[in-house]
Chain A
């Protein structure tokens, strides 16, 4: 169905070719998973299938790519539209019309399909993807999962033989992602469509793959059945890593397979003490940095509040994960805590960092620690009162000027690039220092080098990778030396390596005595990163407790290792591995 014959792709602005001498064949009806780190050429490989590379992106493609007998050299993407359907990361980016039905018909209109056939195919596709109830709805009022299903449907109506999906679930919450992946597998099984799928969160898709294309990063593409390829890859989902560590053959790819293979392991680990998933947080002895009581957020013109009477308490040295489905009020809560967002009711008190008993504190640690515990519990009226004292007193970040609020709470928004507007990394960092006006703090450049070493100061911020952009914005926010750091969905679009780096960055911040909050959908990331988990639903906080307690018990939020080893309270592969090592040593 798809053939790459000695394909190399070279862009004009890079020295090394992105793909070099790739030879591969994808058979009809296969679900083919493309894995690799960010920037190794996954998108290039996918784009080459329908000719977007090089017709649209520029660069030079050597060799031949053939799809269903058509050479992409002679066929630009529009001439391949009836053979290859492409779905991108953010469905909203690809929508041309504004209602579901018209969007489904768009590709067919371009292909000049007769009206009668068109009508029939739209109805079939509505049923196939479960969109019939939504047919007249406007696209922008649908949820993320529904939008992505419409995007898939809109290319399916052209009856393509090949479906190319470039990280279709990276912008979705776990439930919506399941919905989309279920739709994709159904297409593979029922219609025999050939699917090429790139995905960061492997744990969701590995079990469905017939073949894996691994891009190790040197321009090669390794192709093979999943169980073989994942024996050696540098990235793998937790269930595979556990399988590798425990030497299970064949390598399990799904929780189900792993659980069946894990019975002896569970028996072996049953009596052993469970090593901690994370270094113990010194939270107990640490001062309380932020105390929010009865925070409600209600936007103008909306009947229901986005956040309802949330009580949040953040201690220094603790990393908290904020979870919950899209629209459950996570972002609204974070913005309200920072003070820049709307806050209808409630009080937020933040103890300035450096005054609250942190190492090298200016104030008397014990005294201010207790002072912070007496927050104004009253509602909107008195919560707007200015901070009680110049040094050491707790302040309300919503009531002080923005410069001051930055020094209390730093927030990295969901789209970090919203904060970047200058031409180079150096200018951004200089500007950040000018904005924060902190005399005794480390220079912003030093902070960035610690977070992400080796970024050239002359680089344009837009040319950085997702992880580097995040690090830059975090460095800008840290230049104001806030004691509380909030990150709104930082794991979007990050691969395993970037996520591991983020974990170590956040660990360092917590070790310095800051309070860190991360809102995320990524349970595996939470298992590795968070000491405490707060779950939100419909604007209310429905669970708040130690990470292990909250996520192990939940069918939705439990990480793979927890599912495989339940009822044993393991969260991460490292934990299981350490326990296994101890057990092996004991046996010897």
Chain B
């Protein structure tokens, strides 16, 4: 083969040219991707600087381009981008229509017709003048939200959602099973609706209206009910729900621990993200909440005895990916080497935002995940079959 895979890829992988061929492809632990993405989202929550936010989007795009698979869930990032655009648009639209946050010194763009509201609705103004400042601040706010959404989207794109569910602690195992079963049952339900609908014509039954609905819903539900009973029997005889060592007291304790822990986590997250709350609500509450939750999950997990097939390992790469995400969040939160005001540039007076060096480097650092993570396994799904082997042979000969 004349060219190497890395060269053929339209990417910035010039950082470590050809490194991918020497590394064994494997799936990164889904938790590592989630930690990375959530840390980046936390970092995003800290800043209002449109340049930094766009940089985050660029980093997400790069990492996804480098480490995405061909699986169906991995093709969904563009939908998150559409969603993000919608969020920005809605935000701007609302700000324009409800005409809030306008000061007399603003640059006015245009004026919407003013709609008078009744007295009891006086707090909200509909229509009126629209200023550049108001639109910009709405757009930036929207962009921040959009960035956080895209971070979650990136995690969903990079980590196999099914494997991510399996990482759930033992206490939440049932939740995972419910999701998996419903995913596999949904197509069957659709099929059975189609089948019954088609069969309606055989009896010359009406295909519209309430009575037709009954003719379709009754057989489908009866079918689904019978099927779920058989599934339950099958799961029971395959050992689902074998007794662990749970007592009533331990179950109550688990519940209490989880509840308290969740409260702690919420309070902590709120304290951390909102700068005006007292400091003890921040990290300490978050830490305590996390500890309580871990204890609760541990205790709850003991009542189920189960093992996982082909568990995802947690090796150096996982530490590296999760680490670079967390590091960038920490850098943005420490305020070392830059002025906090640069993260949230003011729109009054209007000026171009500057790109602060340290936060920019911190965000670029998160992009290192793009080459720190091992290359993903080629998908063996039959529809991707013609493409994947070709790439594989390329790799083999490139060695």
Contacts and interface: CB of A to CB of B under 8 A. Distances in A.
Contacts of B273: none
Contact of B238 (A102, A140, A155, A411): A155
B223 A98 contact: no
Given A93-B230, A98-B183, A158-B239, A419 B308 contact: no
Contacts of B123: none
A559 B356 CA distance: 84
Contacts of B239: 78, 81-82, 107, 110-111, 158
A437 B238 CA distance: 51
B195 interface: yes
Interface string A474-490: 00110010000000000
Contacts of A111: 239, 242
A250 B307 CA distance: 52
B184 A109 contact: no
A455 to B, nearest CB: 19
Contacts of B311: 115
Interface residues of B, number: 49
B25 interface: no
B180 A97 contact: yes
B253 interface: no
B307 A108 contact: yes
Contact of B308 (A109, A335, A415): A109
B198 A341 contact: yes
Interface in B229-255: 230-243
Interface residues on A, range: 35 or more
B235 A115 contact: no
A525 interface: no
Interface string B288-309: 0000000000000000011111
B119 interface: no
Contact of B227 (A93, A105, A119, A436): A93
Contact of A56 (B205, B216, B236): B236
Nearest to B232: A56
Interface stretch (A17-25, A232-240, A265-273, A399-407): A399-407
A113 interface: yes
B318 to A, nearest CB: 17
Contacts of A257: none
B212 to A, nearest CB: 10
Nearest to A410: B202
B218 interface: yes
Contact of B309 (A80, A108, A140): A108
B236 to A, nearest CB: 5
For A110, A403, A417, A420, the residue with the greatest tally of chain B CB atoms inside 10 Å of its CB is A110
A112 interface: yes
Contacts of B305: 112
A97 B184 CA distance: 7
Interface string B182-194: 0110011000000
Contact of B203 (A85, A98, A105, A435): A435
Interface string A321-363: 0000000000000010010110000000000000000000000
Contacts of A155: 238
A154 interface: yes
B105 interface: no
B200 to A, nearest CB: 8
B204 A77 contact: no
B214 interface: yes
Given A107-B239, A109-B306, A119-B310, 17 more contacts: A52-B237, A56-B236, A78-B237, A88-B233, A93-B230, A96-B234, A98-B180, A98-B183, A101-B309, A115-B311, A154-B238, A158-B238, A410-B202, A419-B202, A421-B216, A435-B203, A476-B203
